[in-house]
Amino acid sequence: MSSSYFKDWISDMAPQAMQPVLPAAQDTEAMMDRVIILELLFHLDGRHDQRHPRHNTYTGLWEAYTNGKNS
């Protein structure tokens, strides 16, 4: 599957993950959606590669995606 498939999927999934129905972390479905989104972004950004400057970190992934750096 191409990375554009996953980026489209993230775009579809993000609104429900960012707007939980229950307060705080009680909305386990939204929290799990966030975990899935971040894990996909982690791999799409190449952070699993030891040569990546931010290898093994999740810092800034969402901001990079929303600012179009991962397009």
pLDDT at 1: 55
Tens of pLDDT, residue by residue, the chain (71 residues): 567 888 888 888 888 788 888 887 898 988 898 899 999 999 999 999 999 999 999 999 988 888 875 54
Cα–Cα distance list, 26 to 14, 30, 43, 45, 55 (Å): 17, 9, 27, 29, 30
Q: Please give the share of the chain, as a percent, with pLDDT higher than 90.
A: 37
pLDDT at 59: 93
Q: Compute the radius of gyration of the chain from its Cα atoms.
A: 13
Residue 24 neighbours by CB under 8 Å, 6+ apart = none
